[in-house]
């Protein structure tokens, strides 16, 4: 079982590519190397494999925060979880459930909300995407300051708020306020629930959700 992310950048044509493309590539390089693990195509579209599907939502949230640090930018993401074929050299040539669900999530569900997850378990899909829709009411409206704080927080989850405030050159009270406005506690609680649901399937040998 693996997870495939299909996405594109919102408003990419209105922002200089030299501003956001290096950030996108740097984020993907943390996962692996192209073209088998990730690939950017048609200028602002991409596919990425997250081999441990329990990590897929965290990666998507982090990618959204990274891009929303840039004014007017956002991202659309469809995550598919399932099996895959192993005999491909480029991720865009891959096949299997994970690829099919990722494409379907992007083509259908992402028309309603900017981030969606699809598997062959309808109950799982409904629970996750309903909750995710509520989380997106916050994430879609992150300001640049909220996104910057989210990136720092996600990159240093074990770091104290005092250290985060110092790195951002703001007061601890301002850091606390940004954390609340970004809804990070609630978003990470949801991410934890998603992670537990996926891990439960894996531990019990249900490699197909």
Residue-wise pLDDT for 95-141, tens only, equals 999 999 999 999 999 989 999 999 999 999 999 999 999 999 999 99
Residue range 172-187: mean pLDDT, rounded: 95
Asked whether residue 4 carries a pLDDT value surpassing 90, the answer given is yes
CB 101 within 8 A of CB 118: yes
How high is the pLDDT of residue 156?
A: 87
Q: Which residues contact 206 (CB under 8 A, 6 or more apart)?
A: none
CB 149 within 8 A of CB 179: yes
How high is the pLDDT of residue 83?
A: 94
Pairing of strands 45-50, 74-82: unpaired
The tally of CA atoms less than 13 A away on the side-chain side of residue 84 is: 27
CA distances to 11, 116, 131, 174, 196 from 191, rounded to whole Å, are 26, 13, 10, 24, 9
User: Residue 208's pLDDT band (boundaries 50, 70, 90)?
Assistant: very low
Q: Which residues contact 207 (CB under 8 A, 6 or more apart)?
A: 1, 83, 201
Residue range 54-69: mean pLDDT, rounded: 98
How high is the pLDDT of residue 204?
A: 65
Asked whether residue 191 carries a pLDDT value surpassing 50, the answer given is yes
Neighbour tally for 51: CB within 10 Å: 13
């Amino acid at each position: 079982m693996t997870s495939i992310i299909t996405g594109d950048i919102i408003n990419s044509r209105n922002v200089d590519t030299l501003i956001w493309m290096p950030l996108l590539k740097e984020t993907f390089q943390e996962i692996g190397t192209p073209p088998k693990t990730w690939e950017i195509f048609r200028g602002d579209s991409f596919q990425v494999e997250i081999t441990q599907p329990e990590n897929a939502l965290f990666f998507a949230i982090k990618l959204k925060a990274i891009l929303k640090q840039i004014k007017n930018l956002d991202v659309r993401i469809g995550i598919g979880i399932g099996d895959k074929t192993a005999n491909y050299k480029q991720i865009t040539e891959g096949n299997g459930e994970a690829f099919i669900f990722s494409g379907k999530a992007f083509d259908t569900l992402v028309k309603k909300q900017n981030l969606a997850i699809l598997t062959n378990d309808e109950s799982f899909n409904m629970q996750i995407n309903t909750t995710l829709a509520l989380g997106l009411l916050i994430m879609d409206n992150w300001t640049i300051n909220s996104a910057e704080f989210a990136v720092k927080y996600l990159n240093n989850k074990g770091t104290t708020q005092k250290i985060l405030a110092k790195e951002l050159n703001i007061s601890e009270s301002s850091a606390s306020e940004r954390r609340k406005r970004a809804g990070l506690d609630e978003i990470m609680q949801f991410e934890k629930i998603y992670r537990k649901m996926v891990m439960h399937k894996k531990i019990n040998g249900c490699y197909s959700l």
